[in-house]
Amino acid sequence: MHWLYLSVAVIFEITVAIAAGKAAGFTNRPWTIATLLSGAIATWFLSRALLTFDVGVGYALWTSVAGIGITVLGALLIGQRLDWRKALGIAVVIAGVVGLQLSGAA
Amino acid sequence: MPQTNPSSSRSWLMLLLAGGFEIGYALSVGGSEGFTRLTWSLVAVAFFLLTLYALSVALRAIDVGIGYAVWAGIGAVGAALLGPVFFDETLTATRALWLGVIIAGVIWLKLADRQRATQEVADGPRDAQVAVS
Protein backbone atom coordinates (compact mmCIF):
# COMPACT_ATOMS: atom_id res chain seq x y z
CA MET A 1 0.00 0.00 0.00
CA HIS A 2 2.88 2.39 0.77
CA TRP A 3 4.11 2.10 -2.84
CA LEU A 4 0.67 3.14 -4.05
CA TYR A 5 0.68 6.13 -1.68
CA LEU A 6 4.13 7.16 -2.89
CA SER A 7 3.12 6.79 -6.57
CA VAL A 8 0.06 8.99 -6.05
CA ALA A 9 2.23 11.54 -4.19
CA VAL A 10 4.65 11.61 -7.15
CA ILE A 11 1.86 12.09 -9.70
CA PHE A 12 0.45 15.03 -7.74
CA GLU A 13 3.90 16.56 -7.23
CA ILE A 14 4.35 16.50 -11.01
CA THR A 15 0.92 18.14 -11.31
CA VAL A 16 1.98 20.85 -8.81
CA ALA A 17 4.94 21.93 -10.95
CA ILE A 18 3.10 21.83 -14.29
CA ALA A 19 0.07 23.65 -12.79
CA ALA A 20 2.28 26.25 -11.04
CA GLY A 21 3.80 27.09 -14.42
CA LYS A 22 0.36 27.37 -16.04
CA ALA A 23 -0.94 29.48 -13.12
CA ALA A 24 1.42 32.29 -14.27
CA GLY A 25 2.04 33.82 -10.84
CA PHE A 26 -1.46 32.92 -9.61
CA THR A 27 -3.12 35.13 -12.24
CA ASN A 28 -4.89 32.17 -13.86
CA ARG A 29 -7.53 31.09 -11.31
CA PRO A 30 -8.29 27.49 -12.46
CA TRP A 31 -4.57 26.60 -12.63
CA THR A 32 -3.96 28.34 -9.28
CA ILE A 33 -6.63 26.17 -7.67
CA ALA A 34 -5.13 23.10 -9.40
CA THR A 35 -1.67 24.03 -8.01
CA LEU A 36 -2.83 24.42 -4.41
CA LEU A 37 -5.10 21.35 -4.52
CA SER A 38 -2.37 19.13 -6.03
CA GLY A 39 0.11 20.45 -3.45
CA ALA A 40 -2.22 19.54 -0.61
CA ILE A 41 -2.97 16.08 -2.07
CA ALA A 42 0.73 15.38 -2.75
CA THR A 43 1.64 16.38 0.82
CA TRP A 44 -1.09 14.17 2.29
CA PHE A 45 -0.16 11.06 0.27
CA LEU A 46 3.55 11.61 0.92
CA SER A 47 2.92 11.80 4.67
CA ARG A 48 0.92 8.54 4.45
CA ALA A 49 3.75 6.86 2.49
CA LEU A 50 6.38 8.09 4.97
CA LEU A 51 4.58 6.32 7.82
CA THR A 52 5.91 3.06 6.30
CA PHE A 53 8.91 4.13 4.20
CA ASP A 54 12.10 5.24 5.84
CA VAL A 55 11.74 9.05 5.63
CA GLY A 56 15.05 9.60 3.78
CA VAL A 57 14.41 6.84 1.24
CA GLY A 58 10.77 7.81 0.69
CA TYR A 59 11.56 11.50 0.24
CA ALA A 60 14.52 10.73 -2.08
CA LEU A 61 12.35 8.51 -4.31
CA TRP A 62 9.57 11.09 -4.33
CA THR A 63 11.72 14.08 -5.35
CA SER A 64 13.82 12.21 -7.91
CA VAL A 65 10.97 10.49 -9.76
CA ALA A 66 8.90 13.69 -9.70
CA GLY A 67 11.86 15.76 -10.93
CA ILE A 68 12.51 13.44 -13.85
CA GLY A 69 8.79 13.25 -14.68
CA ILE A 70 8.43 17.04 -14.58
CA THR A 71 11.43 17.55 -16.86
CA VAL A 72 10.23 14.95 -19.38
CA LEU A 73 6.64 16.26 -19.35
CA GLY A 74 7.88 19.85 -19.63
CA ALA A 75 9.67 18.85 -22.82
CA LEU A 76 6.79 16.75 -24.21
CA LEU A 77 3.71 18.75 -23.17
CA ILE A 78 4.94 22.35 -23.02
CA GLY A 79 7.67 21.96 -25.65
CA GLN A 80 10.45 23.31 -23.40
CA ARG A 81 13.71 22.52 -25.14
CA LEU A 82 16.02 20.28 -23.16
CA ASP A 83 19.70 20.40 -24.12
CA TRP A 84 22.48 18.39 -22.47
CA ARG A 85 23.54 21.31 -20.24
CA LYS A 86 20.10 21.64 -18.65
CA ALA A 87 19.66 17.85 -18.42
CA LEU A 88 23.06 17.52 -16.71
CA GLY A 89 22.31 20.32 -14.24
CA ILE A 90 18.91 18.86 -13.34
CA ALA A 91 20.49 15.39 -12.91
CA VAL A 92 23.24 16.80 -10.64
CA VAL A 93 20.78 18.67 -8.40
CA ILE A 94 18.43 15.68 -8.14
CA ALA A 95 21.38 13.36 -7.42
CA GLY A 96 22.45 15.79 -4.66
CA VAL A 97 18.98 15.78 -3.09
CA VAL A 98 18.86 11.95 -3.24
CA GLY A 99 22.36 11.66 -1.72
CA LEU A 100 21.45 14.12 1.02
CA GLN A 101 18.25 12.30 1.91
CA LEU A 102 19.89 8.87 1.89
CA SER A 103 22.74 10.06 4.14
CA GLY A 104 20.22 11.49 6.60
CA ALA A 105 20.56 8.63 9.06
CA ALA A 106 24.37 8.61 8.84
CA MET B 1 29.72 37.08 -23.14
CA PRO B 2 25.94 37.11 -23.42
CA GLN B 3 24.09 39.82 -21.54
CA THR B 4 21.86 38.85 -18.63
CA ASN B 5 18.21 39.14 -19.49
CA PRO B 6 16.70 41.36 -16.73
CA SER B 7 13.37 39.51 -16.61
CA SER B 8 15.30 36.23 -16.33
CA SER B 9 17.30 37.60 -13.36
CA ARG B 10 14.11 38.61 -11.60
CA SER B 11 12.65 35.15 -12.18
CA TRP B 12 15.75 33.53 -10.69
CA LEU B 13 15.48 35.83 -7.67
CA MET B 14 11.86 34.72 -7.29
CA LEU B 15 12.93 31.07 -7.64
CA LEU B 16 15.50 31.50 -4.84
CA LEU B 17 12.78 33.14 -2.74
CA ALA B 18 10.48 30.17 -3.47
CA GLY B 19 13.29 27.88 -2.29
CA GLY B 20 13.57 29.96 0.89
CA PHE B 21 9.82 29.64 1.56
CA GLU B 22 10.15 25.90 0.86
CA ILE B 23 12.75 25.72 3.67
CA GLY B 24 10.30 27.44 5.99
CA TYR B 25 7.60 25.02 4.89
CA ALA B 26 9.78 21.93 5.48
CA LEU B 27 10.86 23.13 8.94
CA SER B 28 7.37 24.14 10.06
CA VAL B 29 5.85 20.84 8.85
CA GLY B 30 8.53 19.11 10.93
CA GLY B 31 7.70 21.33 13.91
CA SER B 32 3.96 20.71 13.55
CA GLU B 33 4.53 17.02 14.42
CA GLY B 34 2.03 15.65 11.92
CA PHE B 35 -0.13 18.80 12.07
CA THR B 36 -0.96 18.18 15.72
CA ARG B 37 0.45 21.53 16.95
CA LEU B 38 -1.75 24.43 15.86
CA THR B 39 0.75 27.30 15.66
CA TRP B 40 3.32 25.36 13.62
CA SER B 41 0.54 24.01 11.41
CA LEU B 42 -0.69 27.53 10.59
CA VAL B 43 2.87 28.66 9.86
CA ALA B 44 3.26 25.62 7.57
CA VAL B 45 0.08 26.53 5.64
CA ALA B 46 1.32 30.12 5.20
CA PHE B 47 4.68 28.90 3.85
CA PHE B 48 2.87 26.39 1.61
CA LEU B 49 0.94 29.25 -0.07
CA LEU B 50 4.01 31.52 -0.30
CA THR B 51 6.31 28.86 -1.77
CA LEU B 52 3.84 27.83 -4.47
CA TYR B 53 3.07 31.46 -5.34
CA ALA B 54 6.75 32.34 -5.74
CA LEU B 55 7.38 29.14 -7.74
CA SER B 56 4.47 30.01 -10.03
CA VAL B 57 5.86 33.50 -10.66
CA ALA B 58 9.36 32.12 -11.34
CA LEU B 59 8.08 29.49 -13.79
CA ARG B 60 6.72 32.24 -16.05
CA ALA B 61 10.25 32.59 -17.42
CA ILE B 62 12.13 29.49 -16.20
CA ASP B 63 11.64 25.99 -17.65
CA VAL B 64 9.64 23.79 -15.30
CA GLY B 65 12.31 21.03 -15.09
CA ILE B 66 14.99 23.54 -14.03
CA GLY B 67 12.62 25.42 -11.75
CA TYR B 68 11.53 22.30 -9.92
CA ALA B 69 15.06 20.93 -9.45
CA VAL B 70 16.35 24.26 -8.07
CA TRP B 71 13.30 24.74 -5.84
CA ALA B 72 13.56 21.23 -4.37
CA GLY B 73 17.35 21.51 -4.16
CA ILE B 74 17.33 24.76 -2.17
CA GLY B 75 14.61 23.36 0.07
CA ALA B 76 16.77 20.31 0.81
CA VAL B 77 19.93 22.37 1.42
CA GLY B 78 18.16 24.78 3.75
CA ALA B 79 16.43 22.03 5.70
CA ALA B 80 19.77 20.24 6.15
CA LEU B 81 21.54 23.44 7.29
CA LEU B 82 18.78 24.71 9.59
CA GLY B 83 17.59 21.33 10.90
CA PRO B 84 20.47 21.17 13.44
CA VAL B 85 19.59 24.72 14.61
CA PHE B 86 15.95 23.97 15.42
CA PHE B 87 15.81 20.22 15.96
CA ASP B 88 17.96 17.42 17.28
CA GLU B 89 19.83 16.79 14.01
CA THR B 90 23.50 16.85 13.02
CA LEU B 91 25.20 17.98 9.81
CA THR B 92 27.74 15.27 8.95
CA ALA B 93 30.63 15.61 6.49
CA THR B 94 28.79 13.33 4.02
CA ARG B 95 25.72 15.55 4.10
CA ALA B 96 27.85 18.67 3.67
CA LEU B 97 29.39 17.07 0.56
CA TRP B 98 25.92 16.47 -0.95
CA LEU B 99 25.01 20.10 -0.15
CA GLY B 100 28.00 21.11 -2.27
CA VAL B 101 26.79 18.91 -5.14
CA ILE B 102 23.32 20.53 -5.04
CA ILE B 103 24.72 24.07 -4.91
CA ALA B 104 27.10 23.36 -7.81
CA GLY B 105 24.18 21.96 -9.85
CA VAL B 106 22.03 25.03 -9.10
CA ILE B 107 24.79 27.41 -10.20
CA TRP B 108 25.33 25.31 -13.35
CA LEU B 109 21.60 25.51 -14.15
CA LYS B 110 21.57 29.28 -13.66
CA LEU B 111 24.39 29.60 -16.21
CA ALA B 112 22.77 27.14 -18.66
CA ASP B 113 19.43 28.96 -18.34
CA ARG B 114 20.98 32.37 -18.98
CA GLN B 115 22.38 31.06 -22.23
CA ARG B 116 18.93 29.87 -23.28
CA ALA B 117 17.27 33.15 -22.30
CA THR B 118 19.71 35.08 -24.42
CA GLN B 119 19.15 32.75 -27.33
CA GLU B 120 15.41 33.19 -27.06
CA VAL B 121 15.60 36.95 -27.10
CA ALA B 122 17.13 36.47 -30.54
CA ASP B 123 14.50 33.89 -31.52
CA GLY B 124 11.55 35.95 -30.26
CA PRO B 125 9.07 35.17 -27.49
CA ARG B 126 8.37 31.50 -26.86
CA ASP B 127 4.74 31.39 -25.85
CA ALA B 128 2.48 34.38 -26.12
CA GLN B 129 0.09 34.29 -23.18
CA VAL B 130 -3.56 34.31 -24.16
CA ALA B 131 -5.59 36.46 -21.82
CA VAL B 132 -8.51 34.62 -20.22
CA SER B 133 -11.41 36.93 -19.52
Task: Kindly state the average pLDDT of the residues B28-44.
Answer: 88
Mean pLDDT score across all residues of chain A = 91
Which tens digits make up the pLDDT trace of B72-128?
999 999 988 988 888 888 888 999 999 999 999 999 999 988 765 565 555 555 444
pLDDT tens for chain A, 106 residues: list them.
889 999 999 999 999 999 999 999 999 999 999 999 999 999 999 988 988 888 888 888 999 999 999 999 999 988 888 889 999 999 999 999 999 988 865 4
* pLDDT of res. B128: 45
pLDDT value at residue A86: 92
Residue B133: inside a domain: no
**Nearest Cα residue in chain A from B62:** A21
Looking at chain A, the whole-number percentage of residues with pLDDT higher than 70 is 97
Q: Tell me how far apart the alpha carbons of residues B84 and A15 are, in angstroms, rounded to a whole number.
A: 32
Is this complex's ipTM strictly greater than 0.85? yes
User: What burial class does residue B75 get, using C-beta atoms within 10 Å of its C-beta: 0-12 exposed, 13-18 middle, 19+ buried?
Assistant: buried
Give the HSE-up count for residue B127: Cα atoms under 13 Å, Cβ half-sphere: 16
The reported pTM is: 0.85
B59 in any annotated domain: yes
CA distance B39 to chain A (A): 18
* pLDDT at residue B67 greater than cutoff 60: yes
Domain that holds residue A66: 2-102
Where in the sequence is the domain holding B33, given as residue range(s)?
A: 6-123
Q: Which residue of B has its CA nearest to A77?
A: B64
Measured in Å, how far apart are chain B's first and last C-alpha atoms? 41
If one counts the domains in chain B, the total is 1
Q: Which residues of A touch B97 (CB under 8 A)?
A: 99
Answer whether residue B1 is part of any domain.
Answer: no
Domain count, chain A: 1
- Residue B1: its pLDDT value, please? 43
